[in-house]
Amino acid sequence: MSDGWKPNEDASDLVASAQHAAGPNYLGSLDGVNKMMREWASETLTRFDAVGTGTLDRAEAAAADKAKCHEMGAIFVGRVEGYTTVEGWNGEGLANYLRWRMGSLIQDGTDEEVIAQAFAMFVHSIYDILRQWGQPGRGREWLANEITEACRSFTWLLVGMEKAE
């Protein structure tokens, strides 16, 4: 080949990639990340209900949401044990992608702060959906579909996939 590139003949790169992807809570897995987002949406729905029934104060719910956003920021930059990051993506790569895709994010924050801010936008989207629930034509099935789509779209964003329109 004229460009000087030569394939790795012993496949060690492929083996390393496969081992990395087989790690616990792999942040490059669409299914795994989507499961995390659905679980978080469920927690948000539970808090929303608790605030509505008076068993949880709004300030406590907001503090729990904020803490979860910061936790997810730490996870997706690779600071939390038990999660396997995607080399070259989680951290700076993801933060830069979010800065590009979500222009309303803080531009001068650390990578972790930018990622946490994106998670805050996700949780706000869940609350926006909940505020519309119960309006004409927006019952339980609508709510389930909207929450599912919000989780799927945010998952795709987190793994760097563009949604086909």
Residue 4 pLDDT:
47
pLDDT of res. 25: 87
- pLDDT for the residue 164: 52
Distances (CA, A) of 96 to 56, 80, 102: 36, 20, 10
Q: Across the strands, what pairs with 84?
A: 26
The pLDDT score that the predictor gives to residue 158 is 94
Is 3 within 8 Å of 113 (Cβ atoms)? no
What pLDDT sits at residue 126?
Answer: 94
d(CA 91, CA 75): 9
Q: Compute the distance between CA of residue 118 and CA of residue 77 in angstroms, rounded to an integer.
A: 13
H/E stretch holding 64 = helix 58-77
Digit-by-digit pLDDT tens for the chain (165 residues) are 444 434 445 544 444 555 555 567 899 999 999 999 999 999 999 999 999 999 999 999 999 999 999 999 999 999 999 999 988 899 999 999 999 888 876 777 899 999 999 999 999 999 999 999 888 989 999 999 999 999 999 999 999 887 655
pTM: 0.81
pLDDT of residue 53: 94
Q: 76-79 — which CB contacts under 8 Å span 24+ positions?
A: 76/27, 76/115, 76/158, 77/111, 77/112, 77/115, 79/112
